[in-house]
Structure 1
Amino acid sequence: MTATAGHPADDGSGEDGPGEDGSPAAERLHPVLLHHIVNTLGWRQLRELQEAALVPLLAGDDAVLLAATASGKTEAAVFPMLSRMADEQWTGLSVLYVCPLKALLNNLEPRLTTYSSWLGRRVAVWHGDVAASARQAILRDRPDLLLTTPESIEAMLVSVNVDHARLFADLRAVVVDEVHAFAGDDRGWHLLAVLERLSHAIGRPVQRIGLSATVGNPPELLGWLQGAGSGRRPGRVVAPHLDSASPHSAVTASAKPVATVPTGQIELDYVGSLQNAATVIAALHRGEKRLVFCESRQEVEQLGQLLRMKGVTTFLSHASLALDERRRSEQAFSEARDCVIVSTSTLELGVDVGDLDRVIQLGAPRSVASFLQRLGRTGRRAGTTRNCLFLAPDRPSLLRAAGLLLLWGRGWVEPVVAPPEPRHIVAQQILALCLQERQVGGQVWHDWWNGLEPFTRTADVIMRYLVEQGYLQRDGDMLFIGPEAELRFGHRHFMAMTAVFTAPPEFTVLAGRTELGWIDPSLLTEQVHGPRRLLLAGRSWQVTYIDWKRRRCFVEPVDSGGKARWTGSGVAGLSFELGRAMREVVLGADPPVALTRRATDQLAELRELHLPAVHPGGTVITRLASGDVHWWTWAGFRTNATLTSTLAGLTDPVQEHNDLYLRLRRDLTPAQWRGGVVDAVDRLCLPEVDEKALTGLKFNTALPQRLALATLATRLADLPAALDVLREPSRFVIS
């Protein structure tokens, strides 16, 4: 039977599929590797994805491997690489395995070490938590496969202590795990740019392999991963469950399903509050291991404390907990049985916490893709079924969950789209290159990215600005790091240059010498009556001393009364597709899942409440008794932000962007509205951006302000969806 390391076998019954020459594809693997797969792992055959990936990967093609969670994607990529390593006698560091999370790297290391040892090869891990002594050992004696992050690759390239030319001289391939997690944000641009610099440094392209479970546009994701080599290097989408296994497939995020809807026991319940959610979780599925996902760190802390108060063995995981605290929780959870672990998305991306019985979702995740990842955490044991219980603590989250499950039921998954116009990443990369090479020719700097847009001569305006502002200095035709870059990014040997995301300032919380995690500074500055208490790691702590200079806070345990808060916590704005799915729910569509009586009753009340705001033939404008005028677009955050700017003469200038509606002028007439919309169709505008928002765009100071603001405005806009909404009929309703 087919099995994946660490997971029970499927009920597969077919024989190995043939390769292109008619022979079983598995026989193409190196005989020693094949021997251990059969005799050490006890596999009778490879899984479908592993079989399908062998021929293209052994041929050196770029590829994106798509399959559901726990389908053996890691082995599908690593076995061919190990086989090539032995057959072609690769030496030195030949394969990089890149992950978005350090915890995922740590989790993979033992398994990949075992596989590599069969062929006498070595694996090592390099990320921000790896000790300096371990890094020095890697530099002295290079492993064959290195597990790392994009930020650590950047750190190796710019470090004066790393001979990157020697370290990467023998690099042949890069495996990018959870590739969709990179492609959808600026870390993806950073990864692509770093890979192009690596290729330029060693004088040849490297094979690129991406692993993903849930995307709506596989061919586009492959083209993105190939970077400058897209269209010039052979590439393949390997996805046995889709029609996209052909390299010429045209699978897109259209109205038709783009993924097979996984079977599973999905239930939607309405509980009305966080306290009620804790009561339900404590009462249900006793004796089983339950993983509860929340949409903010604050919810994780609050729910964790409530569950512990009810006597439930509870562990927590989120990004503001110290590494040792997270590891203790995850290890204890993997070894226990009757318990709950409450987490943000940190446990969404494949980190192994043992065999789960149940997944519970508080509220609704941000996307269908995210839900599929979470659903895939269950049903891994033979005889078990994938399952997820949604607990809606309020009506808005119930409607969001119903809309998301409606999309899921149709097999729809979001396309992964790189953020447009990453000018700040271009600035970072120019500075990083000057650190890496110490000095770079002013006419040839762009060659390092091999023609990858936007890292080309089109970015000359950014390079000139860096020189004008002192970030770079020029000596003849050579560019090198200037005093302004030293001032802004030079702390700790330019460590701030290696990551393209910003983190809000936080205080480290310590109980004695034990580091618990990090909190928002506002918890230490807000006015309180009585002792100042914090909620962290699911427990309450009383502040005993604050070291303002070192940003440290010392605490001691107390029974209750702690508060949790982090800047930026909560659900992000809705997408256009999710907003429209929620409108369909209000119009009467039910998601294809089990609904509890409470959920059914609440949805009925929501439909009655929103009935004046929906119409199947277009949008609705309501004039309330208060005089407020709302345009119900059900179009999501970015679309509504675009419409607010485009219809500036018709919208209320004093309003916050909303997912479902816009506030219009109170004196607006139907005739004014019709005329304004007709005019707006031909002049869509980007949303207005407050200068204060630039603080969230790292390296914005290395750009002319107009370019930094233009970058944010472009990313906030959804022009196609805004145009669709403007072209829809709209009707006035008096409520």
Structure 2
Amino acid sequence: MSEALDRLHPAVVHHVVNTLGWRSLRPLQRQAVDPVMDGHDALLLAPTAGGKTEAACFPVLSAMERHGWTGLSVLYVCPLKALLNNLLPRLRDYAAWLGRRVELWHGDVTAAARRRILADPPDVLLTTPESVEAMLVSANVDHKRLFGDLRVIVVDEVHAFASDDRGWHLLAVLERLTVLAQRPIQRIGLSATVGNPEHLLAWLQGAGKGSRPATVVAPGVAATPNRAQDGDIELDYVGSVDNAATVISTLHRGEKRLVFCDSRRLVEQLGAALRMRGVTTFLSHASLSVDERRRAEAAFAEARDCVIVSTSTLELGIDVGDLDRVIQLDAPTTVASFLQRLGRTGRRPGSVRNCLFLALSQRALLWAAALLELWGRGYVEPVEAPPEPRHIVAQQVLALCLQEHTVGSRLWTGAWNGLAPFHSGAEPMVRHLIEQGYLDRDGELLFIGPEAERRFGRRNFMDMTAVFTAPPQFTVLAGRQEIGQTDPALLTERVEGPRVLLLGGRSWKVTWIDWKRRRCFVEETDLRGKARWHSPGTEGRGHALARAARDVLLGATPRVKLTQRATRTLAALREEWGPTVALDGLVVTRTGGAEADVRWWTWAGRKANATLAASLGAVVDGRFDDLSIRLRDDLTPRMWRAATAGVPDRLCLPEVDERALAGLKFSAALPPRLATATLAARLADFDAAAQVLAEPVRFTVLG
């Protein structure tokens, strides 16, 4: 403690002891002081509520004061606006200890507040990558003046960025900021437990990987990231939303409970069912209005004996007060997500982390048991960036032309300091942008063309700043109060009687629809409403989780509490699914008579099965899921051996439905061939597919 405090600024030490009343720093906070103050790129790992923010901010603020940094010297980047809002008061207090300022900039911040920031930049700016991009492409921002003094970038919940295209966008934006600052910028990532921390840190370093010191700080995390005995975990089978609501309303009365559901529709259904049972219930999901979510989260934080039902929006560290219990309906698709949710509890001295799983179906029980089996083994998924982000390259070239107005046709690669894939290998995408009119060319200069204006130019190119696509929704209004948004399908489907929506856990009768402005006016009703949102196709479960499900069917039992209902249902599952698994290899089953169902039970995960289905085209009928691949009904063992011979050496990318390209934003700015190849690469798992093909297969006829 004393050595760490000796390096921190005296004012920081004074307030840690006297204002916060801390008798000591946590291990992560102690061990982060030296590498952060020495300018190392760093990844700070700890469970949720493990003190990661302070581990980064105390030494960064101390370095700011020691070295006399001026201007905007620190960016603090988060994946969610709500998380930024939550952090702002705390970070303002910490910075004020040293007479420094912290401000906030995201899509909900007023124009007046933004003008004040531009006129007088703060020392620390809390923001999102999309907001930084918006600043870079804005003609109203003096980029050099605003970002020229940058020294440090803190990326909170860095794993949430790295696992999708927002991560590629973030890295590209950071390199452009480095060019503006004309100096290396220290990068500090904050994360919960991940399976590959060194790889994640190297990813965060971007073009500077290998040229700057880098340190993973994870006291006690890397060796034993999680053990079953570290938490109070229980698995139950309830069979329906109504039964789940009954269990939640009768158990743990007097406690503050956070229930996670993995769809907005399920959040709405459970919220309505709990309110019918007299439970004080709040809801949080992305289709509720900002005001509606804030009111719910604030009321929940101040209340007792209540429940908040949420999608993953409350997974990432947003403070909703002192929780007693986490409840999970069905199961998330990764151990990492479960760890985030588990980390919401056990924060009080003497309390333990806890989670109650309530499975709504037999298959959901199997997936929950598989997840807990992996967790008990200490497994956490590695964080991997999506391969071949060609569409992000196209977006970045267009954004750079907006930022600089004109870019040299031979100089544009320097904007990202050689970061792959934003280098000379991207020239085919740039040629396509010129050929299709997204870019115009005047001699050696490139600038925004008419096609980019047409597709992305609305609202001063704001559509250019986000790399994810949101499906169109209708805004739901009760008078002047915005409730949230709903899928247009609910407003067009045929109904008998009044059209009633379920939103915010309440039923609303539709009174008028403004089709042109995409608005829907409602009034509250006692009738039963419906909730629905279109969700893009998911990647399904991964190979490790699918294999753990197979292990559960073969007898592995997670080392957690199982209710009698869960134990009985798991036994029934093992009996029912027993013919699909074998200890000595994989199984091909044949059921039915004239219209036989022939299925290869790979237990390999969605991506591996997509790869195998594409590679074994002659014997596959095209259908597959996370667990199996349907085969031709006339398949014989001899045909199978002939079809699989040599396949591991010639595995194919999965086929891509052209309609799926709509979910790949900026794919229209790519040659069709490259857009399809990008999506196909993201649907494949060659390693798992090759592993499956190496396993023996036996054929079984089921009655």
Q: Please state which band the TM-score falls in when normalised by the shorter chain.
A: over 0.9
CA distance in 2, matches of 1:151, 1:666: 50
| Equivalent in the alignment of 2:89 | 110
2:5 to 20, 23, 26: 26
SS at match of 2:331: coil
| Equivalent in the alignment of 1:249 | none
| Equivalent in the alignment of 1:51 | 30
- CA RMSD, 1 decimal: 1.1
| Equivalent in the alignment of 2:412 | 445
Cα deviations by residue, 1:201-231 (Å, 9 ceiling, x for unpaired): 1211100000001210000000000000011
| 1:88, distance to aligned residue in structure 2 (A) | 0.5
Unpaired runs of at least 5, structure 2: none
1:314 to 268, 281, 289: 281
| 1:640, distance to aligned residue in structure 2 (A) | 0.5
Which AA in structure 1 matches 2:602?
A: T
Q: Give aligned-pair identity as a percent.
A: 68
| Equivalent in the alignment of 1:632 | 601
| 1:697, distance to aligned residue in structure 2 (A) | 0.3
Unpaired runs of at least 5, structure 1: 1-15, 17-22, 245-256
2:619 to 647, 650, 661: 650
TM-aligned CA distance change 1:156 to 1:469, over 3 Å: same
| Equivalent in the alignment of 1:558 | 525
| Equivalent in the alignment of 2:169 | 190
Cα deviations by residue, 1:472-520 (Å, 9 ceiling, x for unpaired): 0001100000000000000000000000000000000000000011100
| 1:186, distance to aligned residue in structure 2 (A) | 0.2
CA distance in 1, matches of 2:392, 2:205: 18
Runs of 4+ in 1 over 2 A off after TM superposition: 257-262, 569-572
Which AA in structure 2 matches 1:317?
A: S
CA distance in 1, matches of 2:230, 2:24: 24
CA distance in 1, matches of 2:120, 2:413: 32
CA distance in 1, matches of 2:649, 2:18: 67
Residue correspondence of structure 1 range 678-697 to structure 2 within 5 A: 678-697=645-664
CA distance in 2, matches of 1:300, 1:458: 45
| Residue 387 (str. 1) matches residue 354 (str. 2) | yes
| Equivalent in the alignment of 2:700 | 733
Which AA in structure 2 matches 1:232?
A: S
| Equivalent in the alignment of 2:257 | 290
| Equivalent in the alignment of 2:113 | 134
2:45 to 66, 77, 102: 66
| Equivalent in the alignment of 1:39 | 18
CA distance in 1, matches of 2:228, 2:429: 45
CA distance in 2, matches of 1:82, 1:238: 18
CA distance in 2, matches of 1:666, 1:33: 72
TM-aligned CA distance change 1:572 to 1:457, over 3 Å: closer
Which AA in structure 2 matches 1:327?
A: R
Which AA in structure 2 matches 1:725?
A: V
1:90 to 53, 69, 78: 69
1:706 to 670, 673, 679: 673
2:429 to 439, 446, 462: 462
1:345 to 312, 330, 334: 312
CA distance in 2, matches of 1:107, 1:262: 32
Q: Is the 8 A contact 2:228 2:560 kept in 1?
A: no
| Residue 203 (str. 1) matches residue 182 (str. 2) | yes
CA distance in 2, matches of 1:258, 1:358: 21
| 1:679, distance to aligned residue in structure 2 (A) | 2.4
2:367 to 400, 406, 419: 400
Residue correspondence of structure 1 range 494-509 to structure 2 within 5 A: 494-509=461-476
SS at match of 1:378: coil
Residue correspondence of structure 1 range 208-247 to structure 2 within 5 A: 208-242=187-221
CA distance in 1, matches of 2:615, 2:281: 49
2:449 to 482, 501, 525: 482
TM-aligned CA distance change 1:104 to 1:315, over 3 Å: same
CA distance in 1, matches of 2:37, 2:329: 43
Q: Is the 8 A contact 1:367 1:414 kept in 2?
A: yes
CA distance in 2, matches of 1:264, 1:676: 48
| 1:259, distance to aligned residue in structure 2 (A) | 5.2
| Residue 177 (str. 1) matches residue 146 (str. 2) | no
Which AA in structure 1 matches 2:392?
A: I
SS at match of 1:455: coil
Q: Is the 8 A contact 1:242 1:260 kept in 2?
A: no
2:100 to 95, 117, 121: 121
CA distance in 2, matches of 1:376, 1:636: 27
Cα deviations by residue, 1:410-464 (Å, 9 ceiling, x for unpaired): 1100000000000000000000000000000000101000010000000000000
CA distance in 2, matches of 1:570, 1:225: 28
| 1:26, distance to aligned residue in structure 2 (A) | 1.7
Give me the TM-score of the superposition, normalised by structure 2: 0.99
| Equivalent in the alignment of 1:541 | 508
| 1:38, distance to aligned residue in structure 2 (A) | 1.1
Cα deviations by residue, 1:590-615 (Å, 9 ceiling, x for unpaired): 00100000000000000000111001
| Equivalent in the alignment of 2:134 | 155
SS at match of 1:328: helix
Q: Is the 8 A contact 1:295 1:570 kept in 2?
A: no
Q: Is the 8 A contact 1:96 1:148 kept in 2?
A: yes
Residue correspondence of structure 1 range 507-526 to structure 2 within 5 A: 507-526=474-493
1:336 to 280, 300, 303: 303
Cα deviations by residue, 1:175-195 (Å, 9 ceiling, x for unpaired): 000000000000000000000
Q: Is the 8 A contact 2:328 2:357 kept in 1?
A: yes
1:410 to 365, 371, 377: 377
CA distance in 1, matches of 2:568, 2:635: 36
Aligned residues: 700
| Residue 299 (str. 1) matches residue 266 (str. 2) | yes
Q: Is the 8 A contact 2:539 2:607 kept in 1?
A: no
TM-aligned CA distance change 1:548 to 1:262, over 3 Å: farther
TM-aligned CA distance change 1:65 to 1:375, over 3 Å: same
| 1:68, distance to aligned residue in structure 2 (A) | 1.3
| Equivalent in the alignment of 1:659 | 626
TM-aligned CA distance change 1:263 to 1:571, over 3 Å: farther
Residue correspondence of structure 1 range 596-615 to structure 2 within 5 A: 596-615=563-582
Which AA in structure 2 matches 1:209?
A: I
TM-aligned CA distance change 1:571 to 1:562, over 3 Å: farther
TM-aligned CA distance change 1:356 to 1:258, over 3 Å: closer
CA distance in 1, matches of 2:286, 2:501: 17
CA distance in 2, matches of 1:55, 1:95: 18
Which AA in structure 1 matches 2:556?
A: A
CA distance in 1, matches of 2:697, 2:23: 61
